[in-house]
Structure 1
Amino acid sequence: MQLVENLIARYVRQAEPGLLTADTFALERKPLPPLREGEILIRTIYLSIDAGSRAQFDDRADYVIKAVLGKVPGSSGAVGEVVESRHRDWRSGDLLVTPHARWQLYQVAAPAAEPLLRRIDPGMGPLAMHLGALGMVGFTAYIGIFHVGRPQPGETLLVSAAAGATGALAGQFGRIAGARVVGIAGGAEKCAFVRERLGFDACIDYKAGNLDQAIRAACPQGVDVYYENVGGAIQHAAFAAMNDFGRIALCGQVGQYSGAGAQAGPNLMTAVLKRLQIQGFLAMDHLDRHATFHDSAAAWYRAGQLQHHATLTQGLENIHEAINSLMAGRNIGKQLCQVSAEPGQEFPLTAPSFTAFGPGASHR
């Protein structure tokens, strides 16, 4: 198969604090290299957009990945279609998900060197779900809940950024574990979504003020497990509500990923007085549990216990807006950049940017 050129987005201008601008990146068209034996050529359909998608451009953040000027940034995952193969186990038309992707229309991969590159069964559910509920964001929530926070039946789990990709799944996993789940989200619409669509027992609107009082009202027995995504004032209030010997799963600090620098840290004397267990974690340290996660999450999805939700921003030229959507809190569920069409789909889409996927979940 002869494909003439690739479309890539290159990092060309140092990002300033706050929202990203289009001139931070430049679109280029480049010829595609020939495939070597054992490689496949993938047409990118969806790119994962995460808090780290912004943090990699912040030269003041202590993030695990740093983007380099002049290079093509990376993504934590992509869903795509094989368009050419020189690997005996892969054929043109196969759909897959990979945790290693670049901001480009076509990707070259060597399946033998990527153990988490997986073929997708299109009958399993929406393709976007493999970057959400069944993707690395789902795996992160799974590790944070079942292997760090470990909520028990009847305990109270508090989840920050509850309408976001990881928080939405962490709360659903907490419900599966038998906990009473309370979310924190920004705005009445997001809180209604968290309660009515995700099934949380309660949700606190941090924009409404009086956060300490609101947490006490929603968690009258205190908080046993806190799934932390954000930092700042929300973290302070959550720490204050913890029960003695409570557990805190530190997933991220999204409030520090916008280039504005670190916020004030928590009052760690609270951790001393309440004898809290605080553990940071990276999902990549637990890859031996990935197969178990995937099988469990797929079964919960089929049983109607787990939903996937995504917000789509279309076009590689708009990937900065996909990141801005996430950082400004405009997304519900997993934020994605759709780079090209799904098989049989026209692109760009004319549908609204918010889509809800899951047994019984409607699209809007």
Structure 2
Amino acid sequence: MRKRGCGLINRQWTLASHPGGEVSRENFSWSEAPVSNAPPASGQILLQTELLLCAPTIRNWISGNRSSYYPTVEVGSPVIAPAVSRVAMSDNAAFPVGARVLGTAGWQDYQWVDPALGYRIIPDAVSSVDALGVLGMNALTAYFGMLDVARPKPGEVVLVSGAAGSVGSIAAQIGRIVGARVVAICGGAEKAAWLREACRIDDVIDYKAEDVATRIDALCPGGVDVFFDNVGGSLLRDVVARLNRGGRVALCGQIATYDGAAGDPPLDMMRIIYGAIRLQGFLVPDYAHRYEEAMVQLGGWLEAGELAHREDVRDGLSQMPETFASLFRGDNNGTLIARVSDESGRLI
């Protein structure tokens, strides 16, 4: 076995309680303990976490609502997240010490894993931040959700909620790239300006300063053809009421209800039936066999200057609860990432 260091101490956040509303530091418990220098099973590797992605869906994982369609983090177990890690020790020739890998990690510094369970090496040409950001899970979600689920056509009107976020901004730009007319919904003047200037989305609605339904009517007098929805709640109801016949809704997220807000208001089901409207949820792992295709296309658009992106990288594992909670306040700008260690392995 090749080793890099020994006598390691693992800092770790476990789930202390299931959030009943807004996520707070009290929902998590901090501990420090030695790391075993021996793999639990043959072929395993010890990963040192470099970056952790703060994704809204993690709120579902820690909610306490057991489900067959997303992971459940039990009280006392490490919180998990998509991550970039480095191989610190290896009993697997395909994953040498020092290699960077993409896969799930706990909110912690170190963990032994079986690399066959969804871990893949990051090419040298791709930065760690890009691997979680513009070429990461959220970008793949936008790619498949827009092109395979929503399927906008040139000239159609596409509405995107949460459009300044990590998924929404890529989805909105893909809509523009394929020739649709995109209307983006976001919160705040700075985010609206970034969508217009950097992402080249001409029509933007600031829900913090404008009445969204009134603005949709003004910007989309002929109705909406496609809705890429990251928000849910009353917004979904209002947009369904404005969908054209044959309209499509890509149900990506429901962030309006993640913190225990009131349940979704009822949709006009007869409008959906008579309007031949399609509402479809999706999960990006269902497209795992096409990740390479998507990354090549996203990389090509990025190189051609067609994709603007930004990452909000915040230092410190000890601040992880506050960093994660900020996602639901909407005060992050771009893909929210926590840095746990630097390229040399120094803990942060």
- Name the TM-score, length of structure 2 as normaliser: 0.91
Contact 2:65 2:72 in 1 (8 A): no
Aligned to 2:108: 104
Amino acid at match of 2:238: A
Separation of aligned partners in 2, 1:79 and 1:319: 15
The structural deviation recorded for 1:31 is 1.9
Query: Runs of 4+ in structure 1 displaced over 4 angstroms?
Result: 60-63
CA contact (8 A) 2:99 2:121 kept: yes
Aligned counterpart in structure 2 of residue 39 of structure 1, from 39, 44, 56: 44
Unaligned stretches of 5+ residues in structure 1? 349-364
Whole-angstrom distance in 2 between the partners of 1:102 and 1:122: 24
**Are the counterparts in 2 of residues 314 and 337 from structure 1 also a CA contact under 8 Å?**
yes
DSSP 3-state at the match of 1:199: coil
In 2, the alpha carbon distance for the partners of 1:192 and 1:242 equals 26
Q: Is the 8 A contact 1:313 1:321 kept in 2?
A: no
Q: Supply the distance in 2 between the matched residues of 1:272 and 1:207 (Cα, whole angstroms).
A: 32
The offset of 1:123, in angstroms, is 3.0
| Deviation per residue, 1:300-325 (Å, 9 max, x gap) | 22222223321123222221112211
Compute the displacement of 1:68 (Å): 0.9
Q: CA deviation at 1:220?
A: 3.4
Of residues 32, 36, 41, the one that matches 1:29 is 32
Shift, 1:347, TM fit: 6.8
The offset of 1:147, in angstroms, is 0.6
Q: Distance in 2 between matches of 1:104 and 1:265?
A: 41
The residue aligned with 1:142 is 143
- Asked if 2 retains the 8 angstrom alpha-carbon contact of 1:45 and 1:80, the reply is yes
Aligned to 2:198: 197
Query: How many Å separate the matches in 1 of 2:344 and 2:125?
Result: 13
The answer as to 2:123 corresponding to 1:117 is no
Q: Which residue of 2 aligns with 1:317?
A: 318
> Structure 2 residue aligned with 1:64, among 64, 70, 87?
70
Cα distance, 1:206 vs structure 2? 1.4
Distance 1:14 1:248, change over 3 A: closer
Q: State the distance in 1 between where 2:332 and 2:183 align.
A: 20
The equivalent of 1:307 in structure 2 is 308
Higher mean Cα deviation, 85-94 or 45-54? 85-94
Change (3 A) 1:155 1:48: same
Query: What is the CA RMSD across the aligned residues, in angstroms?
Result: 2.1
Q: Taking every aligned residue pair, what percent have the same amino acid on both sides? A: 35
Aligned equivalent of 1:219: 220
In structure 1, the partner of 2:20 is: 16
Whether the aligned pair in 1 keeps the contact of 2:161 and 2:185 (CA below 8 Å) is yes
Aligned to 1:187: 188
Alignment of 1:284-299 (within 5 A): 284-299=285-300
Deviations 1:123-178 (A, max 9, x none): 33x42121122111111111111111001111111100001111111112212222
Contact 2:62/2:79 (CA < 8 Å) preserved in 1?
Answer: no
Letter in 1 for 2:291: H
Query: Which ranges in structure 2 are unaligned for 5 or more consecutive residues?
Result: none
Residue 267 (structure 2) aligns with: 266
AA of the residue aligned to 1:117: Y
Aligned residues: 341
* 3-state SS of 2:10 partner: strand
